[in-house]
Structure 1
């Protein structure tokens, strides 16, 4: 059992770690430059988060990544820092363009970051989605590691894209994983939603059940024609009302982008 002083010191350390972590996430001015019309709903379960998001522009293409690291708290937040650095390196430094190849390289580098002597069954992992927006040709390139992309058009029609059904890292048989990719034509006003599973897995409601992905997708479709600030406020209210007095289940990160 730790003393009150030790507990206070731990909280202070976590608050300092939170400042560092938030400093590594994209600033509002950078998000605005890359995504233009967007919202980010970011709600850590603890003081620090295992969810992260990253944006960048390279070769005239706009990239967005949303990641969900193993667990939550301190260990997951350290993985999120590694994830942020890997995407900065692979996209901005190495200049890899194709989203499937980006994930392949990130997966390789992520696995190399951990000891060869460690039990592979204990390896951490990241579930994530990546999109590349090609504004010149009105196309979105999508790839993912065990996550999805929700696309809602101007008529509020939903299309759900699923990526590869394995994460970045973790235990694997293959020497090198390959990741599938989709090319999605879009019209002006189309909404894209990428996120972790924290919102849909939140326990709550009258029967203390998970929110569920179908319910979330229907909500996003209904509010897709509203402003980004309004959408974020609706999601915040819905999440708090559903959770009510139930403890938060996991970190939450949901990013919406209007094309």
Structure 2
């Protein structure tokens, strides 16, 4: 019987403890019902839980509202036909009930303390992870800033684009999270060299790789290396060895366009090269079979090739990175090469600067308020003619491989 009463008491105590209700317990033998009975009263200033917490253990359970806003749940266990305990035995039962209730509460408290400790440990770990993430973000942000600075530092200055009989304009806008585009214009020994590339990934490594490529290209031009296979093969072996030393997995697509005396030579694998004739007609040159990604393998000579084309007065070439055709609008629709060709064709009668501005304006209009996820780079070269002829409104774009 003591265990029965103690279990009922513990059930009620746990319920009140979880609800943070301050209460008092009264336990007594009572004969007011005509025979001996055990009475258990829970009294509190707040409304107490439903009485079915005690119902399985007592013969009668009452919910009473007392004076002065006191609330009481009262359980009675009849001792009729049971042994009537003396005062010592009653005191023992009371002690057992109090002890069991205390033990139950201590166990409950230990569980709560353990849960609290585990929560604190989880909070500490979360805080550490948050701090590590913040440090990583700061470091990556610093690396991206350095990468963007390197990009801007190695761009050709405006005065370097002023070359006799040519009209040249370049544009690069780094994205917030990416810093992998490269372009350059070099004029050495009567040859104009256009270089355009895109490094995989982003961050400081990409910026360093771009700087290495720019230095290697300029060095090869200064020593008058004109053979396209030897040029790209030497550059690749240089970059590959440096990438291996860096324990990096970076590589880049790179196209080299040389112009001299009305003729251009194209080598290297990158995006399509656009050749624009003086009437605005666009020829798309696929570079897939003209080279191999730089820094990916030590030997690429067998994959390198080149083509030569004539540029008449008014003709020109446009180079770009994938940030333009792959730019997306709010519906995830890409800008596309066809639209790029159309805008260039419609504006080809203008100066290289105006052509560049028309393309960038149209790309930005397409993107709208969407976040820019990749660098946007464009390079336009146009052989000057005395008269720029306005182009027809409707032209078909053809590919030339």
| TM-score normalised per structure 2 | 0.56
Q: Given the superposition, is the C-alpha separation of residues 241 and 35 from structure 1 closer, same or farther in structure 2, using an over 3 Å criterion?
A: farther
2:296 counterpart of 1:170: yes
Structure 1 residues 35 and 52 mapped into 2: Cα distance closer, same or farther (>3 Å)? farther
Q: 1:55 to 1:44 in 2, by over 3 A?
A: same
Does 2:358 correspond to 1:234?
yes
CA-based RMSD of the aligned residues comes to: 2.8
Map Cα deviations across residues 200-238 of structure 1 (whole Å, 9 max, x no partner). Answer: 011115x32111122212222222111223222212221
* Unaligned 5+ runs, structure 2: 1-129, 384-401
- Please list the CA deviations of residues 228-259 of structure 1 after superposition, one character each: whole Å capped at 9, or x if unmatched: 23222212221211111211121111100111
Q: What secondary structure, in the 3-state scheme, does the structure 2 residue paired with 1:233 have?
A: helix
Return 5+ residue gaps in structure 1 as ranges.
none
- Cα distance in 2 between the residues matched to 1:210 and 1:9: 32
CA distance in 1, matches of 2:242, 2:152: 23
Cα offset for 1:25? Answer: 1.9
Q: Which residue of 1 aligns with 2:202?
A: 72
Aligned residue in 1 for 2:50 = none
Mark the CA change 1:143 to 1:236 in structure 2 (over 3 Å): closer, same or farther. Answer: same
Cα distance change of structure 1 residues 175 and 198 upon mapping to structure 2, 3 Å threshold: closer
**1:115, 1:19 → 2: CA distance?**
24
Match of 1:40 among 158, 162, 170: 170
The answer to whether residue 304 in structure 2 is matched with residue 179 in structure 1 is yes
SS of the residue 2:220 aligns to: helix
Structure 1 residues 146, 177: CA separation in 2 closer, same or farther (over 3 Å shift)? Answer: farther
Aligned to 2:237: 108
Tell me the distance in 2 between the aligned counterparts of 1:203 and 1:253. 15
Distance across 2 between alignment mates of 1:237 and 1:249:
17
After superposition, what is the alpha-carbon deviation per residue over 1:164-208, rounded to whole angstroms, capped at 9, x for unaligned?
263112257x56444111110121010210111110011115x32
Indicate whether 1:61 and 2:185 are aligned.
no
- Measured after TM superposition, the shift of residue 100 of structure 1 is 3.4
Partner of 1:134: 260
Q: Which has the higher contact order (CA 8 A, sep 6+)?
A: 1
State the structure with more CA Rg. Answer: 2
- 1: CA distance, partners of 2:213 / 2:324: 21
Output the CA distance in 2 between the equivalents of 1:154 and 1:212.
23
How far apart are 1:61 and its partner, in Å?
1.3
Higher share of residues assigned helix? 2
For residue 15 of structure 1, report the CA deviation from its aligned partner.
4.2
Tell me, what secondary structure is at the counterpart of 2:218? helix
- In structure 2, how many angstroms separate the alpha carbons of the residues matched to 1:47 and 1:34? 38
Query: Which of the residues 332, 343, 361 maps onto 1:208?
Result: 332
- Quote the residue 1:253 is aligned against: 377
Cα deviation for residue 156 of structure 1 reads 1.5
Aligned counterpart for 1:52 among listed residues 175, 179, 182: 182
Aligned residues: 251
